[in-house]
Amino acid sequence: MTHFNPITLVSHKHYLEHDTGGGEHPEVPERLLAISEQLKKSPLCPVLVEVDAREPERQDVLAFHDESYLYRFEETALSGKTYLGHPDNQICFDSYQIALLSAGGGITGIDLLENNNADLVFCLVRPPGHHAESSLPLGFCFFNNAVIAAKYWQKKYEREKIVIIDWDAHHGNGIQAAFEEDPSVLYISIHEHPTFSFPGTGHAEDNGMGPGTGTTLNVPLRPGSDDTVFLQAMERLVEPALADFRPDRIIVSAGFDGHIKDDMSGLSYSTDLYEVIGRKMAAWASQYCQGKLLSILEGGYHLESLAESVERYLQGMAQTTQG
C-alpha cells in the first residue's frame, strides 16, 4: 500500500493580503486558497505539517537585492501607488512586508531541514520570486525567494553546492542573473521557448559566464511540448548535469503554469506529470542530499489545475511503497 512521508508546508496568512488589484491580474490570493482547499481533502492531509514563515533578516535579503531597491519598493508601497516599475507588478500598502515574508518562506524551510525537523518542505508563498533581479521587479515578482534561500543555505549552513531546478513554464531570469558567474550554484531551467514566452530570456546557448560557465543549464521547449518532451529533457540533459555537479542541497522553483489548462504558457503538461516530477525530485534529494528537499512555489494561475498539480507533486514527493 502507498504510504506518505511527512511534508512540512511553510506558509503565512499574510500572503493572502498581497492585493494585485483584481481585474484580470492572474497572481491572486485565490491561488493559495485553492491549494489549501485541495490539500484539506487530500489523502496527504494526515502527513502535512503546517509552519508559519518568518520574516528574513535584512542581511539575508541584501545578499542579493540592492538596498536602494528595498527603499524604493517600501516607499512606493507606502505611498499608495498601485504598482512597482511595470503595471504587471501590482502592489498594495502591505506588499513590501508580505514580499519579505514570502522570501522568508525558504529561509524558514531551510532551518527546519537543517535542524532535522523535516526532510520535505514545500513553501506555499506569494508573491512569487524567480523573475526578480537585484533591483528589478518583473513578472509579478519582487524579491527572489529562491536566490535568497540559496545564499542563506550557503552562508548559514555552509552547504556549498546548491542546485536550483526550475520547471515553471517561464525562465527564471532573476535566478540566472544571480548565479550566472557563480560556479557554486547550478541553475537548471526547463521552460517554454523564450521567443514565444515571457520574459524572453533563457536561450539554450546561455550556459553561464566567467567562472560560472557550465553551471547554468537552460532547456527551452517548443510551445505545445507535453509530458513526453519534458521527461526526455529531464533524462537527457538534467540528470547528467546533476550527476556531474553533485549538489549538497536542492531547491526546486516549483511553477505549475506549464499545465495544459493554464493559459499563461503554451506548454501542454498533464496533471499526472507533476506526480512524476515529485518522485524525481525526492529521488534526487535522497541520492545527493540525505533526502532533504526544499520546494518553493513560483507560478501556476489556473486555479483548479494549480491545486490538483500541487497535490500530485506533493504525493509524488512523499510517496513510499510498502509491501
Among residues 308, 221, 219, 298, the alpha carbon closest in space to that of 261 is found at 308
Rounded least distance, CB 22 to another protein, Å: 12
Establish if 301 lies at the interface with another protein (CB under 8 A).
yes
Rg (CA), the chain: 18
Rounded least distance, CB 311 to another protein, Å: 23
Establish if 71 lies at the interface with another protein (CB under 8 A).
no
The torsion region of residue 158 among left (phi > 0), alpha (psi -120 to 50) and beta comes to: left
Establish if 224 lies at the interface with another protein (CB under 8 A).
yes
**Residues 25, 138 contacting (CB under 8 angstroms):** no
Establish if 258 lies at the interface with another protein (CB under 8 A).
no
Q: Which of the stretches 11-19, 73-81, 218-226, 231-239 binds another protein when contact is defined by CB under 8 A?
A: 218-226
Which one among 139, 172, 208, 220 touches another protein, defined by CB under 8 A? 139
**Residues 5, 120 contacting (CB under 8 angstroms):** yes
Cα of first residue to Cα of last residue in the chain, in angstroms, is: 7
**Residues 168, 265 contacting (CB under 8 angstroms):** no
Rounded least distance, CB 299 to another protein, Å: 9
How many Cβ atoms sit within 10 Å of the Cβ of residue 183?
15
Establish if 208 lies at the interface with another protein (CB under 8 A).
no
Q: Which of the stretches 10-18, 56-64, 199-207, 247-255 binds another protein when contact is defined by CB under 8 A?
A: 199-207
Specify the residue, 12 or 130, whose C-beta has the smaller distance to another protein. 130
Bridge partners for 320 per DSSP: 3
Q: Which residues contact 194 (CB under 8 A, 6 or more apart)?
A: 171, 200, 201, 202, 203, 220
Among residues 184, 119, 107, 198, the alpha carbon closest in space to that of 144 is found at 107
Establish if 261 lies at the interface with another protein (CB under 8 A).
no
Residues designated as active site: 131
Residues 143-172 that bind another protein (CB under 8 A): 170
Q: Which of the stretches 92-100, 156-164, 220-228, 232-240 binds another protein when contact is defined by CB under 8 A?
A: 220-228
Q: Which of the stretches 100-108, 135-143, 182-190, 290-298 binds another protein when contact is defined by CB under 8 A?
A: 135-143
Which residues are near another protein by CB under 8 A? Answer: 24-26, 86-88, 131, 138-140, 170, 173, 194-201, 222-224, 263-264, 266, 301
